[in-house]
């Protein structure tokens, strides 16, 4: 099977931030805090992609994907300068294999390459390439579903323009990340589900933050309004090197 996709968003989010506002947004954007908030300022983004998958026998399916993410320029600070984040090229390969009676094992590896960030047309920074690996073990129990997932993500040091070419950062700004996730989704009634989850997230030390380990435990109730629309709630408590509580509500559509 061959699939094509296109995701897009219009320019959105607050722009022309003051220096204090920008420093706050940098802190909030760190993956370890996992804040589910809108991006503070962005330009027009377009991401066309292609995926291809094929079975290799009765129990094995393999696939590859390719995407290009165009990121438009915007004005993040109140100094009036235009910032154009580098575009991204993403390549992914994966497989899904049936094991035992009802167990399935899926895994994928993705590689992302980033182009140069520019300010007013001048080269400023190129993010290091990112590699992500994910392995998931899944088993249905009737109308219930068990998932066990592990993920590792690493990013190479970025590069800065210098006389004669690019120079790598002395220390990485973005930490390597490891995730272990366990969830069980169970049906409570004809229109209601409940997902219980637990996970551990580990971040290595960088020049900006110390090594961090946190654990999340939570519940995600779902209520089917009709065949196409569902109401979702989310309650998660985080503990470890820092602690906090997350609550959320949303709508999901299957069209």
Give the pLDDT score at 6.
94
Full-model pTM: 0.86
Asked if residues 118 and 127 have their Cβ atoms less than 8 Å apart, the reply is no
What pLDDT is stored for residue 38 in this prediction?
59
Q: What is the pLDDT of residue 54?
A: 96
For the chain, 255 residues long, give each residue's pLDDT as a single digit of tens.
999 999 998 887 788 899 898 888 888 888 888 887 656 788 899 999 999 999 998 899 999 999 999 999 999 899 989 999 999 999 999 999 998 778 999 999 999 999 999 999 999 999 999 999 999 999 999 889 999 999 999 998 888 888 777 788 877 778 899 999 999 999 988 889 999 999 999 999 887 788 999 999 999 999 999 888 999 999 999 999 999 999 999 998 887
What sections of the chain are H helices per DSSP?
A: 19-28
Query: What does the pLDDT read at residue 39?
Result: 67
Are 60 and 94 within 8 A, CB to CB?
A: no
Q: What is the 3-state secondary structure (H, E, C) of 179-190?
A: EEEEEEEEECCC
> What's the gap between Cα 67 and its chain centre?
15
């Amino acid at each position: 099977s061959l699939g094509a996709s296109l995701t897009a968003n219009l320019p959105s989010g607050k722009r022309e931030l003051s220096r204090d506002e920008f420093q706050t947004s940098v802190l909030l954007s760190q993956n370890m805090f996992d804040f589910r908030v809108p991006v503070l300022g962005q330009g027009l983004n377009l991401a066309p992609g292609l995926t291809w998958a094929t079975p290799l026998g009765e129990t094995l399916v393999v696939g590859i994907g390719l995407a290009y993410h165009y990121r438009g320029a915007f004005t993040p600070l109140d100094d009036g300068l235009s910032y154009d984040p580098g575009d991204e090229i993403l390549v992914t390969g994966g497989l899904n294999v049936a094991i035992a009676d009802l167990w399935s094992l899926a895994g994928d590896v993705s590689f992302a390459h980033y182009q140069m960030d520019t300010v007013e047309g001048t080269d400023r920074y190129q993010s290091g390439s990112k590699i992500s690996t994910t392995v998931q073990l899944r088993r249905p129990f009737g109308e219930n579903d068990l998932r066990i997932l592990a993920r590792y993500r690493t990013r190479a040091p970025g590069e800065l323009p210098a006389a004669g070419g690019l120079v790598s950062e002395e220390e990485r700004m973005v930490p390597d990340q490891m995730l272990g996730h366990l969830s069980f989704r169970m049906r409570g009634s004809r229109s209601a589900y409940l997902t219980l989850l637990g996970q551990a997230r580990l971040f290595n030390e960088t020049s900006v933050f110390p090594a961090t380990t946190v654990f999340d435990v939570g519940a995600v109730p779902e209520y089917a309004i009709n065949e196409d629309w569902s109401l979702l709630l989310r309650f998660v408590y985080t503990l470890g090197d820092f602690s906090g509580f997350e609550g959320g509500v949303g709508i999901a559509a299957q069209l």
